[in-house]
Amino acid sequence: MPPYQVLILTDKEDRDFRNSAELHFSQANIDTATAPAEPVDALLLPGENIDRPLHQLRSGQWHWPADIPAFTLGKAHPLADGDYTQLSEQLANWLTQYQQRRAQLAQLPEAIAPLERFLQYAWPRPGFTLRAQWQLSQHSNYHYPILRALGLDDEQRLLQQWQQQEVLESTELLDRVRQCPHCHSEQINFVDTCPSCKSIDIHSTIALHCFTCGHVGEQRQFQQDNALRCPTCLTQLRHIGVDYDRPLERFACNSCQQRFIEGEVVGRCPNGHASNPSELLERRIYHYRLGPGADQFASSGRVFDNRALQWGESVSLENFSWLLRWNNASARRHRHQHLLLFLNWAGIGQAI
């Protein structure tokens, strides 16, 4: 097993790591302007504030390759490959497997499509896990940092497509969130409204119902001279269940004066869309691991997607060509006829 060069990126000089037969450590300042440019096999970031350096690394802002193995010290991070304190004994084996798998992908064409760019990063890493992270934002609170660092937008669509292609397999359900059915925002504010006029100006109150005359009103209207007395018929209310009771309608609307038992809940997003809770979309947040589709890509440079297509779903050019050849062969065999229709709209990209 060859020795591996591990570069420690830190702003301190009191870090001490033992050398071994397989790992040799050197040290550099975390500032990329002063970092040495000699080839290294892995990076080690032992500091606490590593979010920004790791994002710069994975997004290609440093002179090291964006997919170079990087490890943290005592703190897991979604843009890193693990905690050094847990991998120190197996780190040399991990790097050996990584370089072997990386060399296998080097024979494939340059990664251009989102799936290719993702697998070029993920597949060489033994035991790779795509982990979600919660971060408050204006649209979606959950995101996958490595997809964002690689410049892969529209995470939900990509994850759904990669699951269908068996490139990814869900491993752990992290959370379930609700989305606006109009704009898919997850910033939903739930508010009670009046079932009659839909006003949000409602309040909770205690009401009384006089058995003598049937008057219903707020309890404060019945309080006279330290006793309960009906403001309409002036009957003194002594015993609940005999002289009066409390109606089930616990809420009242200040706009239309309507009384009701429960308000009508409405979910509102920052874009002004109002929806009933039953209309909100459910999004399940998972952690993922690589599936058999990723191994197909590593061995052949493509993912074989021969599943049944859904109406309106995009398809790769290779799968479209395969499907067209299969349709033609089937039509000749069974003496059927079919039509290939091509529609093109000028400016469709700008319209979308």
pLDDT of residue 25: 67
49-80: pLDDT as tens digits: 888 888 888 888 887 888 999 998 878 888 99
The answer to whether residue 210 scores a pLDDT higher than 60 is yes
Core vs surface per residue 159-172: b (16+ CB within 10 A) or e: bebbbebbbbebee
Query: What are the Cα distances from residue 54, in Å, to 99, 120, 195, 242, 347?
Result: 21, 18, 51, 73, 39
113-132: pLDDT as tens digits: 788 889 989 999 998 999 99
185-203: pLDDT as tens digits: 888 899 989 988 888 888 8
For residues 265 and 251, the answer to whether their CB atoms sit within 8 Å is no
pLDDT of residue 309: 62
pTM for the predicted model, two decimal places: 0.69
